[in-house]
Amino acid sequence: MNIIFVFKPYANAEKSGGIFVVNHPLKHMSNTLNKYSKAVSQDPTQPAAQAMLHAIGLTKEDFKKPFVGIASTGYEGNPCNMHLNDLSVDIKKGVMASDMVGLIFNTIGVSDGISMGTPGMRFSLPSRDIIADSIETVVQAMSYDAVVPVVGCDKNMPGALMAMLRLNRPSIMVYGGTIAPGCHKNKKLDVVSAFEAWGEKVAGKIDEAEFNAVVENACPGAGACGGMYTANTMASAIEALGMALPYNSSNPATSQDKLDECFKLGAAMKLLLERDLKPKDIVTRKSLENAIRLIAVLGGSTNAVLHFLAIAKTAEIDFTIDDFQELMDRTPFLADLKPSGKYLMEDLHRVGGVPAVLKFMLENDMLHGDCMTVTGKTIAENLAEIEGLKADQKIIYPLDAPIKATGHIRILKGNLAPEGSVAKITGKEGLEFKGPARVFEGEYAANDGIRNGEVKPGEVVVIRYEGPKGGPGMPEMLKPTAAIMGAGLGKDVALITDGRFSGGTHGFVVGHIVPEAQEGGPIALVENGDIIEINAETNTLTLHISDDEMKARAQKWTQPEYKFKSGALYKYIKNVSTASKGCVTDL
């Protein structure tokens, strides 16, 4: 199905008088492809460096070549990342075949699915910044001329892209791909199925044997979570941004298409080096708009708001949560993909993949086609070479019959979220919810309350002290939302928090409330029985108490101690910005 893109030194060039002239007005062929690595490989005053490079098997001829760092987030403990070290070897082969030196190094990863609902989830969002810092550190310290991050689980991707932008050297991101669906009783399963099965078991809807069967069959092997959760959301958006090769986000993890993509990356990287085409030439205000409008069409994760605010800051582009809302207002939600829909990423691959969706968007004036990409061509030029969505596909709805006429992600403000919050409203839950508060002091208390039947239909569940400083680490909370869905309360209960939701979450949920409870935000002042109103049409989040009552409660409130006083999370608490500013740590 996939088009094989051929990369040549003079791709996208015109022949004039027997020579080729590059079309791109800002980029010309560079004679120096090793402008960073030559500081260690060719400087005669660096004999120790050259001796060590010989020790790893390089020759004097290799010293003249560009050094490409291949940053793998591979590790054995997570299906999203378990195959990435092997893909890195395939990428290295392609790099070497294009007359460059490929050098693999590793950075960390944290499995959201495994850490979800445990204290380990506090380290997930901070890992994004550790990944960015570590890739930047190695590439700078080792004088690499280019970098290829190989990523799987969802914090890997924004972390890698932030590093690519900081470095601003020729770069291409490679996503490890989506997992194949599991199956039980002819029903497709994924990791969220396991969480929701727990909710069904707690509610007495299924027995222990059925629960275990779902858990054992949900995840059949390598690859990231199969729906339009955060990993596939970020991969798709980064492809739309122009920082990954076409089909990168939708090629399945264990497919031949993914292996072919990895090998041909070497030729693509050679072209970027020859053009000196760098991330900040590609990531622009217009390409950010392309990425976010694709998220709207596909029904992507709320985490994308957090990550793209951080990416925009790193790229030095003025972009706020209000800009996110403006793009959502003029983009329809069209994709029938999990978690709120029926299909998985592998199904989208079969009907044309992300490039086919982008082509549909371009044809309907939803993309800036003139944005540059890592192929050395514009996104419109890339899409001209591919087929569109298959005629009989049922995943992407027509424009005249959208799932929702505007984007599913809503930026809500009001007296409960003066600096913003992020809601995921697909329209299937309704567009507004009003009810009494059921307050829990943290995720674990909420999980216990749901299990014990404390949450009643019509209530707004409030989970607080889970923000970037209060959590700390702003943990994702798939467990309580999945339990609510599994218990059959998904249409009868809303949930709000200063923490985050997993990309696998669906239902009437609002997260990223700013200011957070730990810093004295209004969410810290909510009491059981208070009436809370969520309105996705007016984009408001309102606590129905008087201003005088709000002030009186604020005067009585005492800030709790931070949960960590040393180590990585303590440093995170001290440095992290609010969710409405992307939770960046390099202010």
Q: Is the peptide bond before 468 cis (omega within 30 degrees of 0)?
A: no
Which 3 state secondary structure label does DSSP give 419? strand
Beta bridge partners of 182: 189
Which residue, among 2, 66, 10, has the nearest Cα to 34 in the 3D structure? 66
Catalytic residue among 88, 127, 193, 502: 502
User: Which residue type sits at 297?
Assistant: V
Beta bridge partners of 14: 21
502 is catalytic: yes
Six-digit token pair at 254? 């264990």
Distance (Å, rounded) from C-alpha 499 to C-alpha 34?
Answer: 44
Distance (Å, rounded) from C-alpha 517 to C-alpha 513?
Answer: 9
Which three-class secondary structure string do you get for 378-418? EHHHHHHCCCCCCCCCCCECCCCCCCECCCCEEEEEECCEE
Q: What is the dihedral of CA 278, 284, 286, 291, to 10 degrees?
A: 80
Which 3 state secondary structure label does DSSP give 437? strand
Name the DSSP class of 366: -
Residue with tokens 């999945």: 482
| Phi/psi at 529 (5° precision) | 95, -15
User: Which residue type sits at 243?
Assistant: M
Distance (Å, rounded) from C-alpha 361 to C-alpha 369?
Answer: 10
Which 3 state secondary structure label does DSSP give 429? coil
Six-digit token pair at 584? 């960046």
Do 427 and 408 form a contact (C-beta atoms < 8 A)? yes
Which three-class secondary structure string do you get for 12-79? CEEEECCEEEECCCCCCCCCCCCCCCHHHHCCCCCHHHHHHHHHCCCCHHHHCCCEEEEEECCCCCCC
Distance (Å, rounded) from C-alpha 439 to C-alpha 252?
Answer: 41
Distance (Å, rounded) from C-alpha 4 to C-alpha 67?
Answer: 25
Distance (Å, rounded) from C-alpha 178 to C-alpha 295?
Answer: 17
Q: Active-site residues: which are they?
A: 502
